[in-house]
Amino acid sequence: MGDSISIVTVYPDLLGTYGDGGNAKVLAARLKLRGIAVTSLEVRSSDPLPAGADIYLVGGGEDSPQVEASKILSRTRVLHRAVENGSYVLAVCAGLQIFGEYFVDSEGNDVPGLAILDCRSSKMPGARAVGELLVKTEIDGKEELIVGYENHGSSTQLGPDAKPFSRVVVGVGNSRTAKTDGIRYKNVIATYMHGPVLARNAELADSILRGVFGELPAIADRSLSNLARQLHRERVAAALKSRKAKSVGRATVGLPGRER
């Protein structure tokens, strides 16, 4: 892929329902702002997935497209090789579930995933997890608050040696009992956070970029950096406020929505 940093968004036609396509836009823009060359590709499921990209982004999707994406990715094994070769991967929600050993389809059947990550997902007991998700995790040696939005009906159980991505401060994450969100393995970060997570957390975006590029020059556009920091602050504050405001069964059941 030449001299520029290559970013591949995996199957946005199947895994692009929850706005996670924004992660690629943020990464590409933050490279461009620093004068670093970047090639960002959105690869649909009808086209071959290129091997050897620096960064792969896998987003959230609906139940049946998720099953289809898992089938194709299991067959081609591009992501298996990429992870072994040290490519960076950010997998969100359905993306997280696909990377595990099993997940469930809309009928509740177990569907085999890529088995790259040591985790399995099953139907979550109780209400769907919907709302702000605030976690603590270590980024480049520093403890950081990362904030996103979760919207999922499955919970994810990690294997005994698997390392969660973060500890949950507000929200559900992997499950209501584990108090962790996501999973880290090699250069893979998997999480339940939409938002998109890299738009809300520029630190996380830059940590992925540092992994690929090495030390990054500063972004000259101060107002953009300030705006990114402000969004992070606002969402962290909103998540903390939402913890105070809501009790356990906050997700909607039955016919949701209030009339105006």
Beta bridge partners of 102: 112, 120
**Smallest gap from residue 204 Cβ to another protein (A):** 15
At a CB cut-off of 8 Å and minimum separation 6, what does 8 contact?
Answer: 40, 41, 43, 49, 50, 53, 55, 56, 57
Contact (CB, 8 A) for 219 and 30? yes
**Smallest gap from residue 236 Cβ to another protein (A):** 12
- CA–CA dist 198, 159 (Å, integer): 26
Instruction: Note the residues at the interface with another protein (CB under 8 A).
Output: 12-14, 16-22, 25-26, 29, 44-46, 62-65, 67-68, 71, 128, 130-131, 149, 151, 153, 194-196, 199, 223-224, 227-228, 230-231, 234, 252, 255-260
Q: Residue 4 or 230: which CB sits closer to another protein?
A: 230
Burial 100-132 (b: 16+ CB within 10 A, else e): bbbbbeeeeeebebbebbbbbbbebeeebbbbb
**Smallest gap from residue 46 Cβ to another protein (A):** 6
Beta bridge partners of 39: 6
Residue among 72, 158, 86, 150 nearest 114 (CA): 72
Q: Residue 111 or 178: which CB sits closer to another protein?
A: 111
Contact (CB, 8 A) for 8 and 87? no
Q: Residue 12 or 117: which CB sits closer to another protein?
A: 12
Q: Residue 131 or 162: which CB sits closer to another protein?
A: 131
Q: What is the Cβ-side half-sphere exposure of residue 173, based on CA atoms within 13 angstroms?
A: 25
**Smallest gap from residue 190 Cβ to another protein (A):** 17
**Smallest gap from residue 68 Cβ to another protein (A):** 5
**Smallest gap from residue 255 Cβ to another protein (A):** 6
Q: Residue 94 or 119: which CB sits closer to another protein?
A: 94
At a CB cut-off of 8 Å and minimum separation 6, what does 21 contact?
Answer: 9, 12, 42, 59, 196
**Smallest gap from residue 140 Cβ to another protein (A):** 22
Q: Residue 190 or 205: which CB sits closer to another protein?
A: 205
Q: Residue 71 or 186: which CB sits closer to another protein?
A: 71
The pair of structure tokens assigned to 45 is 């499921």
